[in-house]
C-alpha cells in the first residue's frame, strides 16, 4: 500500500511516515507473498471483528492465513483457523495444504496429531473444524488470540459466536485479539453472515471488506471467469460479482410490490392491529439435519387502516434461550400497547403446542389480549392471500432496519430455507381479516381518497 507526498500534499514528512506505518501490515518471514491492496487493508484493521468476502478468487483464504501468521514470531501467541469439516480442511488447495506450502521449508514444525504448526517462539497455528454444533465445546478450555473462519457461510451463527469466548489475551500482550472470517455469498449461513457484516456491520464496529476477482493478480483471472460462466445465474452473481443480494427467486412475492413509507398516514385510523409470533420450533430438527440451525423467533406487527391498506409496522427476529425469548416477547408487547395490539402466536401441533400457548396466556402475557392460532394447510397455501394483496399494492412497509431481510425472504419464498417471516405475515394477514374479538371494529372511513380494502 503506497503512501506518498503526491497523494497527500498537505502532510509533513513526519505525518507521512506515521500514515505509512498505519497502512503497512505487520509481516513475518512466514508470509511468502506480498499482500494485495485488499488483503493489506484487511491485515491492518485494528477492529476486533472483520469479514473479507465477495467474489470467488478475491484472495480471501490467503488473507486469513496471512492474518494468522502476523504475530507467530512473538512468544505466547496462538491462532486457529476453522473449516466446517475435517474433509474441508484436508481438500487439495485448502488452507491446511496451503500452510504446508508456505511453512514446510521454514523453522516451523508440524504436528499431525493436533493439526498444529509450532514456531520457535512458542507460538502456534492450529487448524480446527466444527462439523456439529456440539463440536464447539471441544475448544471450551482453549485460548486464542486470532480465530478465523474460512467459508464462514457454512457455519451456524451459534458456532461462530461461541468462539468469541475463546478469544482472550494478557493485558500486556503486544498483539490485538482478532476474530476474522471470509466467504463468498451463498451457502446455508448466507443470511446471518449478510445480516451481521454486510447490512449491520458498520453500526456495530464490524468491518466488511469486499473483494473481487480483479483484486487478485496472482490468479489467472480470464480462465477462472470462463469457469464461473458455466454456473446458474444466481450462483454466478454470487461468485463472479460477489453479490450478497443475489438469492433464489420464489414465485409468490416481488420486493417491488411493497412500498416503503416513513410512517402510517396521519389521518388514517387503525381498524385492527396484530402482532403475530412464530417460535419456529417445528423446523429446528430438520435444519440440524441439513447442517444449520434455522430456529428463529419472529414477531410481525401488521395494521389494517381505514385507507384500505395494510402496513407492516415492525418485524422482530432473533435467536435466544427460551427464557430470553419470553422476556423479549413480553417487552415488545408492552411497547406495542396492551390495548392497541392483539397478540397471536402460532400453536404447534400436539400437547406441547397447547402447553406453550397456555403458558404464555397465564404467565408471560397475562393481562394482554393473547390468542393461539392453529393454521391449516401448507406454508405456500397460507401465504397466497398476502401474496395476492401485495401484488395489488395493498401491503406497505414502515421504514426500518428489518426491511431488507424481510424483502429478501419474501422474494425467495418458498425456495429459501428461511420462511419464518413470511409465516408471520401470512398469520397476521389472516388474523386482521378474520377478527374474532378483543378489539373494536370500525367501518372504513368514507370520502375522497378513502376506500374499503377488497381483502377484508
Cβ contacts of 35-40, under 8 Å, gap ≥ 24: 35/63, 35/66, 36/215, 36/216, 36/217, 36/218, 37/1, 37/215, 38/63, 38/209, 38/211, 38/215, 39/63, 39/66, 40/1
Residue written as grid cell 402460532: 346
Structural domain of 309: 255-433
In angstroms, rounded to a whole number, what is the distance separating the alpha carbons of residues 388 and 390? 5
Task: Report cis status (omega within 30 of 0) of the bond before 410.
Answer: no
Q: Give the per-residue pLDDT at 225.
A: 61
**pLDDT tens readout for residues 387-405:** 999 999 999 999 999 998 8
User: Which pLDDT band holds residue 290 (cuts at 50, 70, 90)?
Assistant: very low
User: Which pLDDT band holds residue 350 (cuts at 50, 70, 90)?
Assistant: confident
Provide the b/e sequence for 231-242 (b: ≥16 CB within 10 Å): eeebbbbbbbbb
Domain co-membership, 285 together with 153: no
Residues in the chain: 456
Residue 353 in any domain: the answer is yes
Q: Quick one: average pLDDT of 357-376?
A: 94
Q: What is the CATH number of the domain that holds 165?
A: 3.40.50.300
Residue 449 in any domain: the answer is no
Q: Quick one: average pLDDT of 28-48?
A: 92
**pLDDT tens readout for residues 141-170:** 899 999 999 999 999 888 999 999 999 888
Most confident among 226-235, 282-291, 343-352, 421-430 (mean pLDDT): 421-430
Count of domains in the chain? Answer: 2
Residue 247 in any domain: the answer is no
Does residue 431 surpass a pLDDT of 60? yes
Does residue 50 sit in helix, strand or coil?
A: strand
Residue 7 in any domain: the answer is no
Domain co-membership, 382 together with 346: yes
Our CA dihedral for 401, 294, 297, 238, rounded to 10 degrees, sits at 10
Residue 200 in any domain: the answer is yes
Q: Give the per-residue pLDDT at 171.
A: 84
Domain co-membership, 192 together with 266: no
Q: How many helices (H) and strands (E) does the chain have?
A: 15, 15
Q: Quick one: average pLDDT of 310-324?
A: 92
Domain co-membership, 281 together with 190: no
Of 208, 241, 274, the residue that ends a domain is 241
**pLDDT tens readout for residues 229-280:** 665 555 666 666 666 766 656 678 888 999 999 999 998 999 999 999 999 6
Q: Give the per-residue pLDDT at 179.
A: 97
Q: Give the per-residue pLDDT at 218.
A: 56
Q: Give the per-residue pLDDT at 390.
A: 94
Domain co-membership, 180 together with 41: yes
Residue 355 in any domain: the answer is yes
| Mean pLDDT across the chain | 83
**pLDDT tens readout for residues 259-272:** 999 999 998 999 99
Q: For residue 425, which phi and psi values (nearest 5 degrees)? A: -65, -45
Which is more confidently placed, 106 or 293?
106
Q: Give the per-residue pLDDT at 221.
A: 53
Domain co-membership, 46 together with 142: yes
Q: Burial of 94 by CB count in 10 Å (0-12 exposed, 13-18 middle, 19+ buried)?
A: middle
Domain co-membership, 21 together with 114: yes
Report percent pLDDT > 70 for the chain.
77
Domain co-membership, 71 together with 216: yes
Q: In the numeric block, which cell numbers belong to residue 112?
A: 499431525
Domain co-membership, 353 together with 375: yes
Does residue 112 surpass a pLDDT of 90? yes
Domain co-membership, 293 together with 215: no
Q: In the numeric block, which cell numbers belong to residue 183?
A: 466467504
Q: Give the per-residue pLDDT at 319.
A: 84
Domain co-membership, 117 together with 172: yes
Domain co-membership, 227 together with 263: no
Does residue 444 surpass a pLDDT of 90? no
The alpha-helical segments, DSSP class H, found in 274-317 are 284-289
Q: Give the per-residue pLDDT at 44.
A: 94
Residue 300 in any domain: the answer is yes
Which of 172, 216, 5 is CA-nearest to residue 74?
A: 172
Does residue 223 surpass a pLDDT of 70? no
- If phi over 0 gives left and psi between -120 and 50 gives alpha, with beta otherwise, what is residue 255? alpha
Q: Give the per-residue pLDDT at 314.
A: 97
Amino acid at each position: 500500500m503506497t503512501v506518498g507526498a503526491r497523494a497527500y500534499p498537505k502532510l509533513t514528512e513526519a505525518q507521512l511516515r506515521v500514515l505509512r506505518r498505519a497502512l503497512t501490515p505487520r509481516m513475518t518471514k512466514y508470509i511468502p507473498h506480498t499482500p494485495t491492496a485488499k488483503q493489506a487493508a484487511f491485515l491492518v484493521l485494528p477492529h476486533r471483528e472483520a469479514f473479507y468476502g465477495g467474489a470467488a478468487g478475491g484472495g480471501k483464504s490467503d488473507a486469513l492465513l496471512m492474518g494468522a501468521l502476523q504475530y507467530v514470531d512473538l512468544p505466547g501467541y496462538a491462532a486457529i483457523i476453522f473449516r466446517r469439516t475435517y474433509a474441508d480442511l484436508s481438500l487439495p488447495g485448502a488452507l491446511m495444504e496451503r500452510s504446508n506450502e508456505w511453512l514446510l521449508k521454514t523453522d516451523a514444525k508440524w504436528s499431525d496429531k493436533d493439526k498444529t504448526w509450532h514456531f520457535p517462539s512458542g507460538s502456534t497455528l492450529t487448524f480446527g473444524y466444527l462439523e456439529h454444533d456440539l463440536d464447539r465445546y471441544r475448544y471450551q478450555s482453549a485460548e486464542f488470540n486470532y480465530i478465523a473462519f474460512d467459508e464462514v457461510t457454512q457455519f451456524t451463527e451459534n458456532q461462530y459466536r461461541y468462539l468469541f469466548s475463546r478469544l482472550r489475551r494478557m493485558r500486556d500482550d503486544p498483539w490485538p485479539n482478532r476474530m476474522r472470517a471470509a466467504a463468498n455469498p451463498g451457502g446455508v449461513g448466507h443470511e446471518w453472515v449478510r445480516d451481521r457484516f454486510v447490512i449491520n456491520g458498520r453500526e456495530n464496529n464490524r468491518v466488511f471488506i469486499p473483494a473481487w476477482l480483479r483484486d487478485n493478480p496472482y490468479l489467472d483471472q480470464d480462465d477462472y471467469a470462463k469457469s464461473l460462466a458455466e454456473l446458474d445465474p444466481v450462483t454466478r452473481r454470487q461468485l463472479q460479482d460477489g453479490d450478497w443480494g443475489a438469492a433464489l427467486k420464489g414465485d409468490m412475492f416481488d420486493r417491488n410490490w411493497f412500498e416503503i413509507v416513513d410512517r402510517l398516514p396521519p389521518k388514517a385510523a387503525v381498524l385492527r392491529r396484530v402482532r403475530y409470533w412464530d417460535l419456529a420450533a417445528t423446523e429446528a430438527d430438520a435444519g440440524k439435519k441439513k447442517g444449520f440451525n434455522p430456529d428463529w423467533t419472529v414477531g410481525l406487527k401488521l395494521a389494517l387502516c381505514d385507507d384500505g391498506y395494510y402496513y407492516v409496522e415492525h418485524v422482530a427476529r432473533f435467536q435466544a434461550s427460551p427464557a430470553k425469548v419470553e422476556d423479549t416477547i413480553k417487552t415488545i408487547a408492552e411497547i406495542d400497547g396492551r390495548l392497541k395490539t392483539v397478540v397471536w402466536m402460532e400453536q404447534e401441533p400436539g400437547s406441547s403446542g397447547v402447553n406453550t400457548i397456555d403458558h404464555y396466556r397465564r404467565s408471560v402475557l397475562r393481562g394482554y389480549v393473547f390468542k393461539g392460532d392453529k393454521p391449516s394447510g401448507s406454508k405456500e397455501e397460507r401465504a397466497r392471500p398476502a401474496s395476492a394483496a401485495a401484488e395489488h399494492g395493498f401491503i406497505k412497509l414502515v421504514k426500518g432496519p428489518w426491511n431488507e431481510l424481510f424483502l429478501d425472504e419474501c422474494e425467495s419464498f418458498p425456495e429459501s430455507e428461511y420462511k419464518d417471516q413470511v409465516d408471520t405475515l401470512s398469520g397476521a394477514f389472516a388474523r386482521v381479516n378474520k377478527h374474532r374479538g378483543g378489539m373494536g371494529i370500525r367501518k372504513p372511513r368514507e370520502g375522497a381518497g378513502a376506500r374499503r380494502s377488497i381483502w377484508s
